[in-house]
Structure 1
């Protein structure tokens, strides 16, 4: 068992400072990502400099996405979804100078997955903004991307996917089944 009596004061102080710095950087990064989220966007998560994931995204924010540095919008919503406004979103994205990639699905298939993997790996689409209604489908596709293209293990990829918004057991089963086929 570790005893504080055996730890020197400088070592203890260094540990406390390190924890404080890590917490500070994490808090600042989280705060910046939240501050960056365009108004009206649901479940925004900035993954890194090349991608952000989100849920419902109004067409009106397309110019803001361009200002934030995105080159493309990848949308998984179907025409039938309430508030999806696919053609309005496409026109707004195009007008803002964004590539608009529509891969509609409610239930993923190997074909929609391959289409997404091709789109996300195309350097002309980077940085990419990926969205659906709640970020649930985005999380599933991002899980697959992390395992298939980035070589992540499934546990690490699932933790990130759940942070993004993956909640559906059906989508989790598809994603895990896809990468273990």
Structure 2
């Protein structure tokens, strides 16, 4: 069974460390202030998973241009076995998506960009995210985000739709990002209701 791995970090140092992926705590996306809390023993409960969870790296809670991973960082990621990089960051975060794509693909990894411009992603973005995560060829996968709030809705739906978590459990994890619980619940129910109405 593919192991569940999810790492929330606040600096690119974790991105560079070979031990990071192997020692990743089984916890959810978080902001910098909550990292220690989620690294406690309660966060390490083994959970069954048929789909491997991506590793989440929040480069910096207040990103600047220098917060973008370097080519050497992506070389290290590729050397550690990562096959794909998903970035939720935008130009205003100090990221040049075209340059980042070149750096990632130079090291034989796949590159996917989901620029999240609103508090919550569009349903179509979530559809595409789930499709990518479900594809074993993309794993191990690294998600490069600027803020935990951006990745939380994606991971919440992933937990429910692909890992079989209850809505309550997934909401608890996603709410640690700082997004209002009621907004997350409305988003989750809206997305899942939409999925049920899709023709088979």
- The two structures have a TM-score, normalised by structure 2, of 0.60
Structure 2 SS opposite 1:149: helix
Among 143, 154, 157, which residue is 2:167 paired with?
154
Question: Could you tell me how far 1:115 is from its partner in structure 2?
Answer: 0.9
Per-residue deviation at 1:159? Answer: 3.1
Structure 1 residues 102 and 90, CA, compared in 2 at 3 Å: closer, same or farther?
same
Higher-Rg member (1/2): 1
Correspondence 1:106 to 2:154: no
* CA distance in 2: counterparts of 1:119 and 1:63, whole angstroms: 22
Q: Which has the higher helix share?
A: 1
Matched position secondary structure for 2:101: helix
Gaps of 5+ in 2: 1-6, 27-51, 60-66, 195-200
* 1-structure distance, mates of 2:130, 2:25: 17
The answer on whether the counterparts of 2:93 and 2:146 sit within 8 Å (CA) in structure 1 is no
How far apart, in 1, do the equivalents of 2:69 and 2:102 lie? 8
CA contact (8 A) 1:131 1:138 kept: no
Match of 1:91 among 78, 99, 102: 102
1:140 aligns with 2:145: no
Quote the Cα distance in structure 1 between the aligned partners of 2:175 and 2:57.
12
Q: Supply the distance in 1 between the matched residues of 2:189 and 2:80 (Cα, whole angstroms).
A: 32
Which residue in 2 is equivalent to 1:37? Answer: 14
Q: Between Structure 1 and Structure 2, how many residues are aligned? A: 142
1:51 is aligned to 54
Quote the residue 1:71 is aligned against: 83
**Compared with structure 1, are the counterparts of its residues 160 and 66 closer, same or farther at alpha carbon in structure 2 (3 Å cutoff)?**
farther
Distance 1:129 1:121, change over 3 A: same
Instruction: Flag the 1:176–1:63 CA change in 2: closer, same or farther, 3 A.
Output: farther
Q: Which residue of 1 aligns with 2:33?
A: none
**Unaligned stretches of 5+ in structure 1?**
1-29
Q: TM-score, normalised by structure 1?
A: 0.66
Q: Any conservation in 2 of the 1:143–1:160 contact (CA below 8 Å)?
A: yes
Higher relative contact order, chain-length normalized (CA < 8 Å, sep 6+): 2
Q: CA RMSD in A?
A: 3.0
**Cα–Cα, structure 1 residues 47 and 137, in superposed 2: closer, same or farther, change >3 Å?**
farther
SS in structure 1 of the partner of residue 129 of structure 2: helix
CA contact (8 A) 2:15 2:57 kept: no
